[in-house]
Structure 1
């Protein structure tokens, strides 16, 4: 029996996801320069030819992954902003979402973004798009913090600077837990504590 258009799309989407997941892990561990197309294809038993049906080049895979990571981040921040409730509740929701998934995947995404922001092999235009999209999400967190400052909940200070502290702490915990030395159970309240106004 012939496959339907819908079945072909499902298979194609699954294969795209499989390639993306494998590439994320390999790029995060080897970096762009150290990664070969054969590293990706051999990890999922895929021919070079078939991979090129989905992506034209190694750089295209890399940029698609970064775009996806930034879209997920932006969507999460937008959803947090649009949630009903207090600014604390919004950031608590975002923090719980951040630490809900697999730590290895979170670490891979973080490593990929850190390399991309400094990458010489990406065009200036692509790097600027990455930084702009990241900054847009950071501004969303800043707006939530500013809202909390207006109600006397969060400490005084530049909201973008406080947003950077918040993101840095979240990323630092991800990196710490990835080491496996003394993994901590993440508490959203502990992550948000440095933002709280004292007295």
Structure 2
């Protein structure tokens, strides 16, 4: 009996996600130049031809991963901004959830590392460069806007909102990179001191 259209769709989606997940690990570990389609095929237990069926080149896989990573971060920030919480509650919620994801989801860490590496490299495909240039400031701007609102209410510390957003995201990125590097042996520090960068006693 032939497979249904829905079954075929699910199989294609699962294969595509396997390719992206396997390639993400390889790109973070070996870089774009150090990764071949044959490496992705071996990692995902697929044939070279099947990988090529879904992506014309390793560069296309890389571009897709950068786009997915940026969209995840930006969409999460937009969702955070739309929540019916006070600004200081949004910042605390965001930090708590991001740290929880970093500690429990290895692939989430790898997405942070991939974007960090790609942003610092000149040897990536031009479409990936354009994606990063067009979107890299958006998470900072969204968090800075929430921080500025909290400062107006007096629940988030005074200071330059852009600077505080910079500290927020670089703290998150640092934790993600540490987790990606050390895996199960990574330290899980108490993040309470991080809150003191943003909150006085009243805001916390």
Whether TM exceeds 0.5 here: the answer is yes
| Alignment match of 2:158 (pick from 156, 160, 181) | 156
Change (3 A) 1:25 1:141: same
Deviates most, 178-187 or 128-137: 178-187
Correspondences of 1:79-118 after superposition (within 5 Å): 79-101=79-101, 102-118=104-120
User: Post-superposition shift, 1:59?
Assistant: 0.6
User: Post-superposition shift, 1:5?
Assistant: 0.8
Are the equivalent residues in 2 in contact too, given 1:81–1:140 (CA < 8 A)?
A: yes
| Alignment match of 2:188 (pick from 167, 181, 184) | 184
Q: TM-score, normalised by structure 1?
A: 0.90
Cα RMSD between the aligned structures?
2.0
**C-alpha offsets along residues 137-182 of structure 1, whole Å, 9 cap, x if unaligned?**
2100000000111011112222111101011112222333443666
Cα distance in 2 between the residues matched to 1:124 and 1:156:
39
Change (3 A) 1:50 1:181: closer
Change (3 A) 1:5 1:140: same
Task: Report what 2:176 is aligned to.
Answer: 174
Number of aligned positions between the proteins: 198
Is 2:32 aligned against 1:32? yes
Are the equivalent residues in 2 in contact too, given 1:103–1:174 (CA < 8 A)?
A: no
Task: Report what 1:196 is aligned to.
Answer: 199
Which 4+ runs in 1 deviate beyond 4 A? none
Cα distance in 1 between the residues matched to 2:58 and 2:190:
35
Task: Report what 1:6 is aligned to.
Answer: 6
User: Post-superposition shift, 1:129?
Assistant: 2.4
Are the equivalent residues in 1 in contact too, given 2:113–2:177 (CA < 8 A)?
A: no
**C-alpha offsets along residues 52-74 of structure 1, whole Å, 9 cap, x if unaligned?**
11111111000100100111101
Cα distance in 2 between the residues matched to 1:182 and 1:112:
19
Structure 2 unaligned segments of length 5 or more: list them. none
**C-alpha offsets along residues 106-154 of structure 1, whole Å, 9 cap, x if unaligned?**
3311221122113323355541321321211210000000011101111
Change (3 A) 1:119 1:194: same
Task: Report what 1:122 is aligned to.
Answer: 124
